């Protein structure tokens, strides 16, 4: 996993994540095998920003039912990235 695109899979877009962007906190779906150092380097390389902190959590699968069919949502890993107070990611502000 040397490429940043292999580590950062997609941004998380929700009401809660948009509310935290004013505090310079961004959320990403990341590869399950990525660690905090790799995530920090990938975000800095992709978006040209300075990362001050990275928090990770494993999102557990949830049971779902659709009629008689039962199953689970897939498990995935989330990264919560805090940026330097002077930096921001223009991708999230809609200025791409």
Domain boundaries, the chain: 4-85
Which CATH topology does 4-85 take? Alpha-Beta Plaits (3.30.70)
Q: 4, 42 in Cβ contact below 8 A? A: yes
- Which regions of the chain does DSSP assign to beta strands (E)? 8-11, 25-30, 51-59, 63-66, 69-72, 76-83
* Residue labelled with tokens 């921001």: 88
The string of pLDDT tens digits covering residues 9-60 is: 999 989 998 889 889 999 999 999 999 999 999 999 999 999 999 999 999 9
Give this prediction's pTM: 0.87
């Amino acid at each position: 996993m040397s490429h940043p695109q292999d580590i950062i899979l997609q941004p998380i877009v929700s009401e809660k994540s948009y509310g935290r962007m004013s505090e310079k906190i961004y959320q990403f779906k990341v590869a399950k095998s990525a660690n905090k150092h790799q995530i920090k380097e990938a975000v800095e390389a992709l978006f040209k920003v300075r990362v001050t902190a990275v928090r990770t959590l494993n999102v557990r699968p949830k049971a779902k039912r659709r009629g008689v069919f039962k199953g689970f949502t897939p498990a995935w890993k989330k990264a919560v990235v805090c940026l330097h107070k002077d930096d921001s990611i223009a991708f999230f502000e809609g200025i791409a």
